[in-house]
């Protein structure tokens, strides 16, 4: 159950067996069925989760329309970071797109972890840095890449998204209509 | 010269005199005159800077048009974080909007700092977390607030922007045309 977590942590910082065991005692397993929410906009996000299995999406709701922010798969950490850090209401929803298994850590336990084993500050730093890298990369892509370039990048860099996420969700993530995505896919399949 | 830096650091983590002095040895003072660039898009950002005095702006350039991303004043840290962390070319420009005095830290010195005094991991964590908070706050405001709401928030939460930044730059930051900002300001002044 904890192999994937161990590999993921060890890419961020070397840990002794005792440190890893202590980390694990702060986690609670949780199962989500497909479409079940992890968080709703307006709630305060008081926990982050490691995805042991499955896939979740972030999205905004505006005037009744959903705008997908990001997809996360097994091996990643998720949470509505702005809300988690500030205690203000979340602006995004987080839902499971597949039956998913999570390992959940509460905000207070994370602060305890930093205080008791300062080495884990690096874990927190890397988590936050990865959020920055992901969100600035996405902003740049939305600003500067054409929809077709965005789709090609996704195929190249995140094949899991293409394989496991329904097309209408991918279109929303790319900032285009499903019809436009179908045209792009057809054009690429025809080799034009 | 280092009082403001000391106050800023102490809000993030308690430091001994020796730790602070060591931190300062890793900084290099740099002056920028008004409009002088700190970083150009396409370059790799290999340093971050504490603003001791002055004001700088981040902006994107697209099809010859500038889009302001953020303004930073004395007491803040700045850098093109995505580029700084990944070593990839920056997508934003950073320019001085006033004559400015910076204290600059190189990427390699920051990694050395983490390794030699792990306590500074918390400094790095807080820096990254503040970037996340700022960018998610801005995304939400652009998505959900009207231009007038964005301007009112700016007046309330960041009066320095209203006092020190030229109106056309504020309009670009709010995602509206300068004429629209003038109308909003007139409406507010008339008390409507």
What tens digit of pLDDT does each residue of B17-59 get? Answer: 999 999 999 999 999 999 999 999 999 999 999 999 999 999 9
- Is A132 at the interface with chain B, CB within 8 A? yes
Of B81, B125, B137, which has the smallest distance from its Cβ to A136's Cβ?
A: B81
Q: Are B136 and B129 in contact (CB under 8 A)?
A: no
- Is A81 at the interface with chain B, CB within 8 A? yes
CA distances (Å), origin A118, targets A25, A81, A121, B118, B148: 17, 21, 5, 8, 44
- Predicted local confidence at residue A80, as pLDDT: 94
> How much is the average pLDDT of B110-136?
92
Q: Which two tokens stand for residue B105?
A: 């830290």
Q: Has residue B192 got a pLDDT over 80?
A: no
Q: Chain A residue with minimal CA distance to B134? A: A82
**pLDDT lower than 70: segments of chain A:** 192
- Predicted local confidence at residue B139, as pLDDT: 83
Strands of B100-106's sheet, edge to edge? B28-32, B100-106, B47-53, B77-78
Q: Is B134 exposed, middle or buried (0-12, 13-18, 19+ CB in 10 A)?
A: middle
- Predicted local confidence at residue B138, as pLDDT: 84
Whole-angstrom distance, CA of residue B163 vs CA of residue B161: 5
* Residue in A66, A139, A141 to test binding to B, most B beta-carbons within 10 Å: A139
Of the pLDDT bands very low, low, confident and very high (cuts 50, 70, 90), residue B67 is very high
- Predicted local confidence at residue B143, as pLDDT: 81
Angle at B164 between CA B159 and CA B167, to 5 degrees: 95
Q: Which residue has the higher pLDDT, A32 or B139?
A: A32
Whole-angstrom distance, CA of residue B6 vs CA of residue B15: 9
- Predicted local confidence at residue B186, as pLDDT: 93
- Is B142 at the interface with chain A, CB within 8 A? no
Residues facing residue B7 across a β-bridge:
none
- Predicted local confidence at residue B1, as pLDDT: 79
Of the pLDDT bands very low, low, confident and very high (cuts 50, 70, 90), residue B144 is confident
pTM listed for this prediction: 0.90
| Helix residue ranges per DSSP H, A26-177 | 81-86, 107-116, 121-144, 147-157, 159-164, 167-174
- Predicted local confidence at residue A41, as pLDDT: 96
- Predicted local confidence at residue B24, as pLDDT: 96
Q: Which two tokens stand for residue B185?
A: 């300001």
- Is B35 at the interface with chain A, CB within 8 A? no
Q: Which two tokens stand for residue A171?
A: 């279109």
What distance in Å separates residue B70's CA from the closest CA in chain A?
Answer: 13
Whole-angstrom distance, CA of residue B129 vs CA of residue B81: 11
- Is A131 at the interface with chain B, CB within 8 A? yes
Determine, for residues B91 and A119 on separate chains, whether the beta-carbon distance falls below 8 Å: no
DSSP assignment of B68-94: EEEEEETT-EE--HHHHHH-PBPSSEE
- Predicted local confidence at residue A135, as pLDDT: 86
Residues of B in contact with A133 (CB under 8 A): 81-82, 85-86
What tens digit of pLDDT does each residue of B73-103 get? Answer: 999 999 999 999 999 999 999 999 999 999 9
Residues facing residue A58 across a β-bridge:
A70, A94
Q: Chain A residue with minimal CA distance to B129? A: A128
Determine, for residues A140 and B91 on separate chains, whether the beta-carbon distance falls below 8 Å: yes
Determine, for residues A82 and B121 on separate chains, whether the beta-carbon distance falls below 8 Å: no
Q: Are A58 and A35 in contact (CB under 8 A)?
A: no
């Amino acid at each position: 159950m904890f192999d994937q977590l161990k590999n993921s942590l060890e890419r961020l910082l070397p840990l002794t067996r005792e440190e890893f065991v202590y980390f694990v005692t702060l986690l609670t397993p949780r199962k989500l069925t497909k479409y079940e929410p992890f968080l709703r906009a307006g709630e305060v996000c008081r926990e982050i989760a490691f995805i042991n299995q499955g896939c979740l999406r972030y999205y905004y709701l505006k005037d009744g329309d959903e705008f997908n922010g990001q997809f996360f798969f097994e091996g990643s950490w998720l949470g509505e970071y702005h809300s988690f850090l500030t205690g203000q209401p979340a602006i995004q929803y987080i839902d499971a797109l597949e039956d998913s298994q999570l390992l959940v850590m509460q905000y207070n336990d994370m602060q305890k972890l930093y205080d008791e084993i300062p080495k884990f500050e690096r874990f927190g730093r890397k988590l936050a840095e990865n959020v920055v890298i992901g969100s600035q990369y996405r902003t740049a892509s939305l600003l500067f890449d054409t929809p077709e370039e965005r789709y090609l990048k996704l195929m190249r860099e995140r094949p899991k998204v293409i394989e496991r996420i329904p097309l209408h969700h991918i279109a929303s993530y790319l900032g285009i209509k499903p019809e436009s995505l179908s045209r792009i896919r057809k054009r690429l399949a025809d080799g034009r």
